[in-house]
Structure 1
């Protein structure tokens, strides 16, 4: 009888231990963090050095497999150098550069300088928040990378929060947006993006927690629709042409260029009008539509004045021979 009692006791003990461990291992919040942390980043604008201690001044999230990141424009400001971006999960660091910014709507697009592929949040899923639903976020509040938080959606479409652009609506949440968390993705339990953390309102008369607000996905999509998802800025691209900043003596000698006047093509955007026209890397552009092009400045001035619908006649020097090609709109 005693042995049966002991057997029942140990059976009950190990059964309860097994199920408690199983429950702990299946913690849904831990699963959510593990599934989505690799889609998030921390951002530093201290310097271009990848190594060493960093102060993570903002957050962001990946929106494509080839390394495009969205964050708030105020995180970066007018910083001109390359950013250091830390990937969530494995902590790997990359250099990134700003492709485009909309300071009115506080959105910036950053491209990571790498050929690696990434997990990302899909803006096309059109995640729509509901009042009272739980949201999740992984960010760097006060520089503490990979901080995992959750909260409740207070109002999915709050209008009139921003006095400057009063017509724009925001996602209101019950948690404050601390410094360093701006630019972080807010997503639901299925990983649908429902907003990008932006700012908080706080009554200065009281020492209390602020009310958090996030940019809605529709504004992020509108911003992206006006930007070419290429790792070159609008200033660097003209019909798909990326030019060499300066023609040096080294380039003249090694590429056998007949002159330093003109614009040397560094890169052609894949499937762009310039590539389709037959232009090649290291072609030297010397004339467009009969107008002499002696420098990058003259090329940029020309493209600012010419209509996007205009067909272009491009004269280039290739292997010391002149060629005429046409770029169609």
Structure 2
């Protein structure tokens, strides 16, 4: 018994000695370092005292809002199959692709996989996800994966999409109840109001270097409301956005589809686009107001699409030169009319200048587009039009926008150029002795008194 106690005392004594030596050596090293750096004291001072955040303070409200929403923010990983012409010889034989392209009409297509990343938010316990349409545009439908903040990944299916509004709904293919956000009210936002953007910029949260998925959070204010922009889309087409929320909360590639929330943890927008010369955030970001999404959600979930009213015209900005040519000061120029469209049936012609829709002035193509979109399918609308210097009124009924639009004839373009052209057909090649390798169009008519 005494021997055991004696051993314990020896072990305790040795432990104290080791601890003492460690502390003194640490102090000695610190002072040696200070002496080497010619300092009068330790290299740095530190504080390990905790500083609790008051939940009722402004900082506390932001932290609580983030905690409330983060579990429902998801990262969306996609994959799409892209076809490009080429046999794919690879370096250093790339020139063979060009050789085969020049001598063979049917050139083989090479496929490769293109991966994409975006963000989204779960909007109910069943696992429905709200995001941007451009996040999942053209992707392989069986290659969509969503990752939650608990590091769990699920397959997701597309429920509904709408290119016009850039809104899409996905559904998690998994069992159980999911955390979800609360959709707020974007109708009474104030410039200067604090907002928080959440998402997965650059796919950073899914990096193998990170042990768990957590959305990236940035804080800023509402810089403006009612903004309108044009942004690039798939295949080079331009997407037109209206009535956007502008914020200086950093939004970067990969943030698209994530929530923009207020300090109460309510979603007031969908992070959508940035204006940047570099591709990264410079403090000018845009979000779709959540009220716009709420109006469309039921139709997207029920029907998988949104039917928008349409009149069937191609519009052009009225530049000072065109305004002078058509003898008007304001309005929207009709560049062309789609065959069999409501506009053609009502008598709208290329060269008309539309100045009002239902007595409301329209000065830009965006004004006219928004005025039409606010109507219902089948609704009668009145257009105030200037044609050859005379103001006339034309009534027409809107129709559902078709999936495929018949190509317009290009009459106004022909009128402005003063010529009519045609593609080179075999008959035209033979008639005008055009070589097989020649490419372009044939001028088939020159209008008297025109520019040509």
> Is TM (by shorter chain) over 0.5?
yes
1:92 to 141, 149, 152: 152
Q: Hey, what's the Cα distance between the residues in 1 that align with 2:196 and 2:73?
A: 12
Aligned partner of 2:257 in structure 1 is 183
Instruction: Map 1:28-39 onto structure 2 (within 5 A).
Output: 28=60, 29-39=62-72
User: Among residues 128, 136, 149, which one is paired with 2:218 in the alignment?
Assistant: 149
Bigger RCO of structures 1 and 2 (CA < 8 A, at least 6 apart): 1
Aligned residue among 274, 286, 289 for 1:213: 286
Contact in 1 for aligned 2:274/2:281 (Cα 8 Å):
no
1:134–1:36 distance in 2 versus 1, CA, 3 Å = same
Equivalent residue of 2:254, what SS? coil
Q: Tell me the equivalent position of 1:74.
A: 134
2:229 is matched with which residue?
Answer: 161
1:23 to 29, 41, 52: 52
TM-score relative to the length of structure 2: 0.41
User: Does the 8 Å contact 1:195/1:217 carry over to 2?
Assistant: yes
1:222 matched to which residue of 2? 295
Counterpart CA distance in 2 for 1:215 and 1:38 is 21
CA pair 56-35 structure 1, distance change in 2 beyond 3 A: farther
**Given the superposition, is the C-alpha separation of residues 75 and 114 from structure 1 closer, same or farther in structure 2, using an over 3 Å criterion?**
same
Superposed displacement of residue 30, structure 1: 3.6
Deviation at 1:98, TM superposition (A): 0.8
- Structure 1 residues 25 and 167, CA gap change in structure 2 (3 angstroms): closer
Deviations 1:76-131, CA, capped at 9 Å, x for gaps: 111132310001x31211110111111121111000012221222233x4244221
Change (3 A) 1:92 1:165: closer
Residue 46 (str. 1) matches residue 119 (str. 2): no
Q: How many residues align?
A: 205
* 1:209 Cα offset (Å): 1.5
**Residue 230 of structure 2 aligns to a residue in which SS?**
coil
**CA RMSD for the aligned pairs?**
3.1
Distance (Å, rounded) in 2 between the aligned partners of 1:81 and 1:122? 27
Q: Is the Cα contact below 8 Å between 2:161 and 2:304 reproduced in 1? A: no
Provide, for residues 120-163 of structure 1, a one-character-per-residue CA deviation record: whole Å limited to 9, x for no partner: 2233x4244221111112211111221111111101332x3238
Change (3 A) 1:41 1:203: same
Indicate conservation of the 8 Å contact 1:59/1:182, yes or no: yes
Other structure's SS at 2:300 match: coil
1:201 CA drift (Å)? 1.3
Decide which structure has the larger Cα Rg and report it. 2
Q: What CA distance in whole angstroms lies between the structure 1 residues aligned with 2:269 and 2:131? A: 11
So what's the TM-score if we normalise by structure 1? 0.55
Identify the residue that residue 446 of structure 2 maps to in structure 1: none
CA distance in 2, matches of 1:23, 1:189: 19
Shift in Å at residue 166 of structure 1? 6.2
State the secondary structure of the residue aligned to 2:301: coil
Counterpart CA distance in 2 for 1:103 and 1:66 is: 24
